[in-house]
């Protein structure tokens, strides 16, 4: 067996060559935070210091780290067959995984298209929507409607339907034409410190009627929203909002896509947020916890009617789209092992069971300096701070850094701290995350 290289803190390794994603590279390289190992609820940094994972990596590792069932499945599969092409060829694991996903997905979403990331899932879903309408004889339906503050990855399709200014502005001339946005649902004036779903704001979905009047239903392919916005800072849908979006899209023959890259696989209490809130979209985009973050993989779950419509017409390739690594056998093995863990350990249910405890814990922070809102659902929480006079995002980043120094990983987006621990988290570990946060908030001020 070859040796696994071990990395030492502050050794001679250069940091110069790696251009890190979504990272302040110069700041990081001056003061690196290097993770080297992971087991259960903990990372270890390169100096061997334990760091409690309050974010499931990057919303990925819902079953915790170092799961032997996954690493053994990966090892078995890579030794048996490392790779198989997926264009005009197949292998059993991809079909098995598709069946497993269909079994846990909302009713009717029985078809699965494999990708390698959330961004690719989003772009695939947008293309499938256009392909579907064209197959259905409605080729003018090509427009998309996203939502302000939405995050749908970083492909040109994803940033076009996305609604986070910072991700779009640099590329503004190259965004997809024919995209409009619904208003976001964050309303701190009326809903600050709401536990669970806000009671008011469902009428924001009705703006869709105005956009339909403006662009014409016959020109609109799909509406895409995250049922709960994760990356923009844990923004929950008001009660009834998603149902209204569903009713309006249905009325006008517009597809509804839920981007569940974060909310999928138990984060908000059921396999998918769609089930938790009893609203079935036409497609669901997934990635991240699909295989517990072990190997890049994503999937789009698709309604049978869409697939069936695309299967009409002369025999031949029905969708000119796909990836070299679609349904990769090793990633699929990791996903099946992950689904087994989620099922055997009832982790989706656990997320719901712990919701009340988690909710009380994070809302106990109310009253600490500069907190202007706390939001939560399932095992996800967002704590919003007023920006410091040093600039937007400085306070959030300071709290993130201080928590890391104190041995807990949380996530900062601007001045919002998000917490989304692995679903195996214990009550004591929830307390530990919240206590560290409390200390960090006081220290940063």
Residues 76 and 421: their CA atoms lie apart, in Å, by 29
Q: Using DSSP, state whether 366 is helix, strand or coil.
A: coil
Q: Nearer Cβ to ligand PLP, position 167 or 340?
A: 167
Measured distance CA(380)–CA(351) in Å, rounded: 9
Q: Which structure tokens are listed for 431?
A: 């307390």
Least distance (Å) between residue 283 CB and ligand PLP? 13
**CB nearer ligand PLP, residue 260 or residue 373:** 260
Report the alpha-carbon angle 355-197-292, nearest 5: 50
How far apart are CB 261 and ligand PLP at their closest, in Å? 3
d(CA 45, CA 58) in angstroms, rounded, equals 16
Chain position whose Cβ is nearest to ligand PLP: 118
Category of 218 on φ-ψ map: left (φ > 0), alpha (ψ -120 to 50) or beta: alpha
Please say which residue, 167 or 200, places its beta carbon nearer to ligand PLP. 167
State how far the alpha carbon of 239 is from the alpha carbons of 184, 202, 357, in Å. Answer: 14, 6, 22
The end-to-end CA distance of the chain, in Å, is 50
- Nearest distance from residue 140's CB to ligand PLP, in Å? 27
Applying CB under 6 A, the residues found at the interface with ligand PLP are 117-119, 122, 151-153, 226, 230-231, 259, 261-262, 287
Q: How many Cβ atoms are within 10 Å of 190's Cβ, its own excluded?
A: 11
CA separation for the pair 217, 362 (Å, rounded): 43
Smaller CB separation from ligand PLP, 126 or 221: 126
User: Least CB distance from residue 218 to ligand PLP, whole Å?
Assistant: 28
Indicate the residue among 32 and 296 with the shorter CB distance to ligand PLP: 296
Shortest distance, CB of residue 158 to ligand PLP, whole angstroms? 6
Residue placing its CB nearer to ligand PLP in the complex, 336 or 418: 418
Q: Residue 237: name the closest of 189, 200, 283 by CA.
A: 200
Q: Minimal distance in Å, beta carbon 289 to ligand PLP?
A: 11
């Amino acid at each position: 067996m070859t040796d696994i290289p071990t990395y030492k803190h502050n050794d001679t390794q250069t940091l110069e060559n790696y251009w890190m994603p979504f990272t302040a590279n110069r700041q990081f390289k001056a003061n690196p935070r290097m993770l080297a190992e992971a087991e259960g609820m903990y990372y270890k940094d390169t100096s061997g210091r334990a760091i409690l994972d309050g974010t499931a990596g990057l919303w990925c590792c819902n079953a915790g780290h170092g799961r032997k069932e996954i690493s053994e499945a990966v090892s078995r599969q890579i030794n048996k067959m490392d790779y198989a092409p997926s264009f005009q060829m197949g292998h059993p694991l991809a079909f098995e995984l598709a069946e497993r996903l269909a079994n846990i997905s909302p009713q009717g979403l029985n078809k699965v298209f494999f990708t390698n990331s959330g961004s690719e899932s989003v772009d695939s879903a947008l293309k499938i929507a256009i392909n579907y309408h064209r197959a259905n004889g409605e080729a003018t339906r090509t427009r998309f409607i996203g939502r302000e503050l939405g995050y749908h990855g970083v492909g040109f399709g994803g940033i076009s339907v996305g609604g986070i200014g910072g991700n779009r502005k640099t590329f503004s001339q190259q965004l997809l034409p024919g995209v409009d946005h619904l208003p976001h649902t964050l309303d701190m004036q009326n809903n600050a410190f709401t536990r669970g779903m806000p009671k008011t704001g469902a009428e924001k979905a009705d703006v869709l009627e105005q956009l339909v009047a403006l662009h014409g239903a016959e020109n609109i392919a799909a509406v895409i929203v995250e049922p709960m916005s994760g990356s923009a800072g844990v923004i929950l849908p008001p009660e009834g909002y998603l149902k209204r979006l569903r009713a309006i899209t249905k009325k006008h023959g517009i597809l509804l896509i839920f981007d569940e890259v974060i909310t999928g696989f138990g984060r908000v209490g059921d396999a998918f947020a769609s089930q938790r809130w009893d609203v079935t979209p036409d497609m669901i985009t997934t990635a991240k916890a699909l295989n517990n973050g072990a190997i890049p993989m994503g999937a789009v779950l698709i309604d049978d009617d869409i697939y069936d419509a695309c299967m009409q017409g002369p025999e031949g390739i029905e969708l000119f789209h796909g990836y070299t690594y679609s349904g990769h056998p090793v990633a699929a093995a990791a996903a099946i092992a992950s689904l087994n863990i989620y099922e055997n350990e009832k982790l989706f249910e656990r997320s719901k069971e712990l919701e009340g405890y988690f909710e009380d814990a994070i809302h106990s922070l109310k009253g600490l300096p500069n907190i202007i809102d706390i939001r939560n659902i399932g095992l996800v929480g967002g704590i919003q701070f007023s920006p410091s006079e040093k600039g937007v995002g400085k306070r959030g980043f300071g709290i993130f850094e201080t928590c890391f120094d104190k041995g807990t990983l949380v996530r900062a987006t601007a001045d919002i701290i998000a917490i989304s621990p692995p679903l195996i988290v214990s009550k004591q570990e929830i307390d530990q995350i919240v206590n560290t946060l409390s200390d960090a908030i006081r220290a940063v001020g």
